[in-house]
Amino acid sequence: CLWDMNQRPSRNCIGELIRRAAALSEKGVTIVAVHAAKAEEGALEKWVEQNKPPFPVGCFTGDIEKTLLDWGTASLPHLILTDRKHTVVAEGFDLSEELDRKVEQASAR
């Protein structure tokens, strides 16, 4: 999940991933959150400490806009789903409505 802690839809998405992490893990899904926006120094670390996500959280460095363009990210949050071979099978979809269906489709591959 590419996200921005300063953006409500991104915070909602990450919150939902935190709540669903155990159930997704049972389905073989590994969650990785990448903060893809500028933030004050130490802000991401503080967020992680306060929210205690059960998955790794990192951030882009360097030219964030170029990196998002290179990844084909039109807006945040941006979900990317890969299969067991790490081949992208879906991206840019809605968490609440499409994730379970897309995970099932990827599992069948």
Handedness of CA 1, 54, 29, 104 (dihedral sign): negative
Query: d(Cα 5, Cα 14) in Å, to the nearest integer?
Result: 9
Pair 36, 60: CB distance under 8 Å: yes
pLDDT value of position 7 = 95
pLDDT value of position 109 = 67
Element housing 91 (H / E): strand 88-91
pLDDT value of position 96 = 72
pLDDT mean by block of 10 residues, the chain; 109 residues: 95 95 92 94 95 95 91 91 88 81 78
pLDDT value of position 93 = 85
Burial status of residue 104 (CB atoms within 10 A of its CB: 0-12, 13-18, 19 or more)? exposed
Query: d(Cα 49, Cα 56) in Å, to the nearest integer?
Result: 12
